[in-house]
Amino acid sequence: MLANLASLYPRHLDTVRGHADQALALAPFEHLLIGAGSPPGKFLDDQDYPFIANPHFKHWLPLTDAPGSWIVHTPGTKPRLIFVQPRDYWHVVPQAPHGYWVEHFDIVIVRSAAEAVAQLPKGRSAVLAPAGAASDGVTANPPQAVLDCLHWYRSCKTPYELALMREANRIGARAHRAAEAAFRAGESEFGIHLAYLAAARQIDAELPYASIVGLNQHGAVLHYTHFDRLPPTAHRSLLIDAGASCAGYASDITRTYAGAGAGEFQALIDSMDAAQQGFVAKVRAGQSYPELHVHAHHVIAGVLREHGLIRMSAEGAVESGVTSTFFPHGLGHPIGLQVHDVAGFQQSERGGSIPRPAGHPYLRMTRVLEAGMVVTIEPGLYFIDMLLQDLRDGPFNSEIDWTKVDHFRQYGGIRIEDDVACTDGAPENLTRDAFAQHG
Ligand code: GLY
Ligand code: MN
Ligand code: MN
């Protein structure tokens, strides 16, 4: 584990407790009860799906394997952890709590989820727990006002959280290096994925999201989660979007590589890489994220012109929606305990929603950036048959160099994605810093 977590954690916990006090005061409630949740069972089966802890639970402590456990926060008192460690010789049971954080909790170890529920205090409580916890005798009642308040403050990360997110990026960067080597060695999508997992030392269920490993045209499928078991006859390109976890925090990283001899595609990647770094440089306090997204459309229109893919003006390409054929998703999203973190649209700590700009239905972040926020910057440029056909059938057909576009279809597309922390000054690119350490 990272050396400085023990010194950063107490202030993190103070911050989390302070925000919880503020949220409880809204009703007011006496207690905040946070259930880790339980793994959902498979239908008509005796197996469970992988356990994913309630993100609110992971916000308080670095425990990701704690099904049935609860955190109890009562303002003015030390927080309690009611930890379930079943007597079970069939499975490996969760390890008894240990590490830099345990001294900050009163810990009670119980043998079952029902015993944990029996330990919860009576009184007026806000209960943040997945629905399954309700059947254990507690009604999950996440009051919207409490959620809005907690989600709002989760947007800005503490130094402790940033340390964990740097590490999630270092693990991801190390694994991306291994994936690139597997691509260069001619592996299949499946083989590249296995190289990624081995280098990350994480199994699929531990990753913050399902990895996307697309060779050649598969890069054009935005959420391609199939893995061809055999290599293709030629390795023209790889688009890999894969993250890693660290104590419940996510990284979300995409790289695109050109194969040997794909110089024209490499040139397009280079232009997109320069554009992406320009967007990263604008991750500053006070910057409107939707304005940055629209700015990205203008810059990408310039890339399309520079490479001779469109003939119309950059301005015209954005206004007519032509850039959305090539860049049909949002520039990025908040990231933290969840890969698509909460409160991307929220207006204030009291809730509310800031609408997306017209014509940009997939943008996941409409707020103004503040110091402490971490967002992804992930522009893309793709050759997607379905969208290209609409463009072909529409009024701007003659503005496109179809010979060129058709030629690029064999490469699928480009996405370059970094996780970037907004600070009081220059942005901190967690992902590029991590790649630099894994030279
Ligand atoms: N990997 C999911 C995303 O980039 O948002
Ligand atoms: Mn992303
Ligand atoms: Mn991604």
Q: Which pLDDT score, from 0 to 100, does residue 109 have? A: 95
Q: Which pLDDT score, from 0 to 100, does residue 91 have? A: 83
Does position 41 have pLDDT exceeding 70, yes or no? yes
Does position 349 have pLDDT exceeding 60, yes or no? yes
User: What is the pLDDT averaged over residues 194-202?
Assistant: 98
How many C-beta neighbours within 10 Å does residue 307 have? 17
- Helix or strand run (H / E) with residue 213: strand 212-215
Q: Which two tokens stand for residue 276?
A: 């992406």
What lines the ligand 1 site, CB under 6 Å? 209, 241, 252, 333, 339, 378, 417
When pLDDT is cut at 50, 70 and 90, the band that residue 139 belongs to is confident
Q: Which pLDDT score, from 0 to 100, does residue 96 have? A: 86
CA–centroid distance, residue 251 to ligand 1 (Å): 10
CA–centroid distance, residue 378 to ligand 1 (Å): 8
169, 252, 414: residue to mutate for ligand 1 pocket, most atoms within 8 A of CB = 252
d(C-alpha 9, C-alpha 192), whole Å: 36
Q: Which two tokens stand for residue 361?
A: 């239905």
329, 417, 420, 431: residue to mutate for ligand 1 pocket, most atoms within 8 A of CB = 417
Question: In terms of DSSP bridges, do strands 80-84 and 106-110 run parallel, antiparallel, or are they unpaired?
Answer: parallel
Per-residue DSSP letters for 124-158? SEEEE--GGGGGGT------HHHHHHHHHHHTBPP
329, 365, 376: residue to mutate for ligand 1 pocket, most atoms within 8 A of CB = 376
Q: Which pLDDT score, from 0 to 100, does residue 134 have? A: 54
As assigned by CATH, the class of the 5-154 domain is alpha beta
Classify the C-alpha dihedral 335-341-346-348 as positive or negative.
Answer: negative
User: What is the pLDDT averaged over residues 169-197?
Assistant: 98
Rounded to a whole number of angstroms, the CA Rg of the chain reads 23
What does the pLDDT look like over 355-385, one tens digit per residue?
Answer: 999 999 999 999 999 999 999 999 999 999 9
Instruction: Tell me the whole-structure pTM to 2 decimals.
Output: 0.97
d(C-alpha 291, C-alpha 293), whole Å: 5
Phi, psi (rounded to 5 degrees) for 126 = -90, 125
Ordered by start, the domain boundaries in the chain are: 5-154, 159-437
Instruction: Provide the greatest CA pair distance for the chain.
Output: 70
Q: What's domain 159-437's architecture?
A: Alpha-Beta Complex (3.90)
What strand order describes the sheet that includes 253-258? 212-215, 237-242, 253-258
What does the pLDDT look like over 53-106, one tens digit per residue?
Answer: 999 999 999 999 999 999 999 999 999 999 999 988 888 888 889 999 999 999
**Which residues are placed with Cβ below 5 angstroms of ligand 2, an ion?**
252, 376
d(C-alpha 320, C-alpha 401), whole Å: 17
Per-residue DSSP letters for 331-370? S--B-SSSSS-S-SSEEETTEEEPPPPTT-TT----SBP-
Does position 420 have pLDDT exceeding 80, yes or no? yes
What does the pLDDT look like over 142-160, one tens digit per residue?
Answer: 899 999 999 999 999 999 9
Q: Which pLDDT score, from 0 to 100, does residue 40 have? A: 93
Rounded to the nearest integer, the mean pLDDT of the chain is: 96
CA–centroid distance, residue 209 to ligand 2 (Å): 10
Does position 135 have pLDDT exceeding 60, yes or no? no
> Of all atoms in ligand 1, which is nearest to the CA of residue 417?
4
Least-confidence region, from 211-215, 242-246, 261-265, 384-388: 261-265
Does position 133 have pLDDT exceeding 90, yes or no? no
Cβ-count burial 378-401 (b if 16+ within 10 Å, e if not) = bbbbbbbeeebeebeeeebeebbe
Does position 218 have pLDDT exceeding 80, yes or no? yes
Specify the amino acid at residue 323. T
Return the residue whose CA atom lies nearest to atom 4 of ligand 1. 252
What does the pLDDT look like over 392-410, one tens digit per residue?
Answer: 999 999 999 999 999 999 9
